[in-house]
Structure 1
């Protein structure tokens, strides 16, 4: 695998954004100012994050994080950013489960203030496993941890999924849409991904490996998708803030939450680690081969919930396929900004192309 330059994550000016944020804060808390604003190194290309403090004696909490929908003029990664839905999902999880979700403070749906809808939440203190360079590379806090510390982090992370699926009532998340039929929920999820892929390749070359991946899903559709639960959607350790004891201090990024089978989250957690591990090994790194292994995740989850994961080949391949669509959009965004040339082969833009092809051929696991 080869890597291209890290794509830009924002087209916005943080200083101008901070000035506009201070003006908006005055409408919610007269006299309040946004201070110490910074953009985290891990800022994403979907919704953006701004970390800041509120300078006001009556502020409900001082350290805050703002999640702002992507600039619609910046060749966005997703076609739609429903900040109200994400805000509502976080409130549901905070109210109906024991997961550590940051306290939400304000939702602003009027794009006139900062250029797009946004919400403000409490900032969580702790450490996040890095994506760049990935936590599977030497030199970061998780790689340098002891086996026992990583064991605790793995166990606690699988517990996040178990508790979410067991505690959050699906009926309360009906606003996410999917119906009560488990098969309907999975079908809706996959059809949404098909629609997303069609949007990504509109006016651009299709990816043959992604096309084959969708064909594989149809041919290997689960006979019994299982019960419908609230799934996190972006269930990976890079979206968890951990405290010094390697336990979750905050579970973040709920923009991909959906109703569907439990295995949607399990497959995503398994595969997103495999993505980084495979990338490390292809670069000559050892990585963390004993960490977040599929068999261990499945065993832990079954022990915690009484539910034995099934059809995991389907769900891990589906996770790899979803990741491929996102990566293709990110690459086309780089092409749009002149960061990489237009390729002759669209599949060359997908870092884990070989992995996805091996999964489709049945020789990955």
Structure 2
């Protein structure tokens, strides 16, 4: 979607600058359509806009991804690293949009930006995909294919050599210690050092219960959920999106993120289902299958699920700050709990 920004972007000026950028490469015979918001089921962290490029009568659709004007959910938007990550993963058979171009020169549209081809398909909403929408209404075979290709994408990702992406290291290194430090610093920044007591308790719990031994790290998506994927009509995953949170951690970080966000979605909708759709694996089936794909046992998954919800809660807190700063005080996310009930029970239990 368009993202949440503190400053409204001038789309007319952005379109004009983008046309000039393409004209420098293709000559004056270029046309740019109106910029429109990308799929509203996708992430909130960047401004993602869709447009049609016409060069000498031939038209193609593209997406431009821009850091939010005036600041956004993250303190830093490393678009070069995102481009490097997407191209690396595409070369390893992961369906990231490619080719992707990083333009660091801010003079064109007032900001650096990413350009990539648009992938057309279905993007399930991670808030409601089990109760309505394309995936809910699809037949069992399509649901099964969507589930399987998502799992296969994760497994393929976790086999990419970690030393091929040194730019994904956090300032403190790689692994869960560095990741914990990064997120603790993040929530302090995100809330202007007004961190709720509950979030402080959650981080203290994570430190006290941190696994003694951690598996070898993998390249992790960091935001592995269905709303960051595009599927064709058959359920095939044709686009893996939003790599801003990519990191180097045990594969458990991604598996737990998906499991925890599934659980969160069920809680929000008052459902008690396992699996949540007829074509999906149950939790136990998924864990058995992923153990086979990964070639080792998944370890300390409950801890990683709590960590997943704490990370999600940090982003919710920052989103609430931005919504209030932009006058959107009635937005449903301003009333959203920062942690789901089951996570609070674990942390305070």
**Same fold judged by TM-score > 0.5?**
yes
* TM-superposition CA deviations, 1:232-269 (whole Å, max 9, x none): 11111111110111011111111111111111111111
Aligned to 2:53: 54
Corresponding position: 1:19 with 2:16: yes
Q: Secondary structure at the match of 2:94?
A: coil
**Structure 1 residue runs without a partner (length 5+):** 1-5, 342-346
* Alignment partner of 1:93 is 2:89: yes
Alpha-carbon offset, residue 39 of structure 1: 1.1
Task: Establish whether residue 200 from structure 1 lines up as the match of residue 187 from structure 2.
Answer: no
Distance 1:14 1:180, change over 3 A: closer
Residue 341 of structure 2 is aligned to residue 350 of structure 1: no
> Does residue 1:214 correspond to 2:185, yes or no?
no
Between 1:26-35 and 1:119-128, the stretch displaced more is: 26-35
Q: In the alignment, what sits opposite 1:69?
A: 67
Whether contact under 8 Å (2:274, 2:282) holds in the other structure is no
Q: In the aligned structure 2, how far is the partner of 1:281 from the partner of 1:89?
A: 37
Q: Structure 2: how far apart are the matches of 1:226 and 1:179?
A: 20
Indicate whether 1:83 and 2:79 are aligned. Answer: yes
RMSD over aligned CA atoms reads: 2.9
TM-score normalised by L of structure 2: 0.88
Runs of 5+ consecutive residues of structure 2 not aligned to the other structure: none
TM-score computed with the length of structure 1 as normaliser: 0.85
Aligned partners of 1:254, 1:261: CA distance in 2, in Å?
17
Does residue 145 in structure 1 map to residue 138 in structure 2?
Answer: yes
Residues 7 and 334 of structure 1 are in contact (CA less than 8 Å); yes or no, is this contact kept in structure 2? no
Q: 4+ runs of 1 displaced by more than 4 Å?
A: 178-181, 284-287, 289-293
- Answer with 105-114 or 187-196: which moved more: 105-114
Structure 1 position 41, deviation (Å): 4.2
Give the conservation status (yes or no) of the 8 Å contact 2:98–2:117. yes
Alignment map for 1:110-259 (pairs within 5 Å)? 110-131=105-126, 134-138=128-132, 140-166=133-159, 168-177=160-169, 184-202=174-192, 205-259=194-248
Q: d(CA) in 2 for partners of 1:163 and 1:58?
A: 39
Contact 2:120 2:230 in 1 (8 A): yes
Is residue 136–residue 287 contact of structure 1 (8 Å, CA) maintained in 2? no
Structure 2 residue aligned with 1:344: none
Aligned match of 2:315 in 323, 326, 337? 326
Q: Structure 1 residues 281, 159: closer, same or farther in 2, change over 3 A? A: same
Distance 1:304 1:8, change over 3 A: closer
Q: Distance in 2 between matches of 1:238 and 1:195?
A: 26
Q: Is the 8 A contact 2:46 2:72 kept in 1?
A: no
- For 1:180 and 1:76, the matched residues in 2 are separated by 23
CA distance in structure 1 between the partners assigned to 2:123 and 2:153 by the alignment: 15
Q: Which moved more, 1:328-337 or 1:14-23?
A: 14-23
Question: Contact between 2:3 and 2:43, CA under 8 Å: does it hold in 1?
Answer: no
Q: How far apart, CA to CA, are the structure 1 residues paired with 2:9 and 2:251?
A: 37
- What is the CA–CA distance in structure 2 between the aligned matches of 1:309 and 1:171, rounded to whole Å? 22
**Matched residues in 1 for 2:190 and 2:26: separation?**
40
